[in-house]
Amino acid sequence: MSESKLLDGKAVANRVKEQLKERVEALKTQGVTPSLATILVGDDPSSETYVRMKGNACERIGIVSKKIHLPEETTTETLLETIEGLNRDDAVHGILLQHPVPSQIDERLAFETIAIEKDVDGVTSEGYGQTALGFGTYPSCTPAAIMKIMEDYDINPEGKHAVVVGRSPILGKPVGALLLNENATVTTCHSRTVNLATHVSQADIVVAAVGKPEFIKGEWIKEGAIVLDAGYNKGNIGDVEYETAKDKASAITPVPGGVGPVTIAMLLKHTVDAAEKSVTN
């Protein structure tokens, strides 16, 4: 079989961002500048890097990046007060709480405090429920990125068997719901699935979202399958054994440069969407 088509996430993300620049300029003519507030609790170096990347991406297309850095010893109550203040701030259109937070904080309660109209990262249970029911405004950004890549490359999931490996509330579960809403037949697997290789080998579409480096072996991939690797592990390694998988897949996302850049682009898109809604409401 010829080498698989590379699903270039950087190219998809650049197209999204170019369209967003025009929308941001249009909003500014109406006196509105889209604004994303990012909350970082503590001093985790990886989290600091992610927040900085998101802030830079915002600024490049004209979105205001409001950064709030709280100390490591912050209590749940203080964090909730911070979020509630941002909920009330009409100049803020999206709120992102960087995961993970220090262990003394009730992370789920903090996520649930984010107003649904500002939940641009798709972390509230209300947002998840809306996504599953098919009318969600802001699905979690990585699932949204996977769907956007498929759309841009004319990959129609309808009637296809999609196997999602991973069941996290902001990736595996919502991407399964999005695929199901697009008429795919969805099997959700995870690290404890018995005979995982058998399930993966039956997939027309494989979504890797388990968070373990090269957990999905290339030999498991069916000839001609489409592979979307949402994993990102140390050493720029995905959840799929890329070198062997690419020889069997008809299309595959690289790591890095695949799902990751589009995830950030979808966060920006959701923020602009929220700003536009604030004008019409």
> pLDDT tens digits, the chain, 281 residues: what are they?
456 799 999 999 999 999 999 999 999 999 999 999 999 999 999 899 999 999 999 999 999 999 999 999 999 999 999 999 999 999 999 999 999 999 999 999 999 999 999 999 999 999 999 999 999 999 999 999 999 999 999 999 999 999 999 999 999 999 999 999 999 999 999 989 999 999 999 999 999 999 999 999 999 999 999 999 999 898 999 999 999 999 999 999 999 999 999 999 999 999 999 999 999 87
Residue 210 burial by Cβ neighbours in a 10 Å radius (0-12, 13-18, 19+)? buried
Q: How far is CA 43 from the centre of its chain?
A: 23
The phi and psi torsions of 127 (rounded to 5 degrees) equal -65, -40
Q: What angle (nearest 5°) sits at the alpha carbon of residue 100, between those of residues 129 and 193?
A: 60
Q: How many CA atoms lie within 13 A of 281 on its CB side?
A: 9
Quick one: which of 232, 227, 213 has its CA closest to 53?
Answer: 232
Give the helix/strand (H/E) hosting 164: strand 161-165
CB 207 within 8 A of CB 214: no
CB 48 within 8 A of CB 56: no
The phi and psi torsions of 188 (rounded to 5 degrees) equal -100, 120
The structure tokens listed for 87 are: 């909920």
Residues carrying an active site annotation: 54, 98, 121
Domains of the chain as residue ranges with CATH: 31-115 (3.40.50.10860), 140-260 (3.40.50.720)
Taking the C-alpha atoms of residue 226 and residue 248, their distance in angstroms, rounded to an integer, is 9
CB 261 within 8 A of CB 13: yes
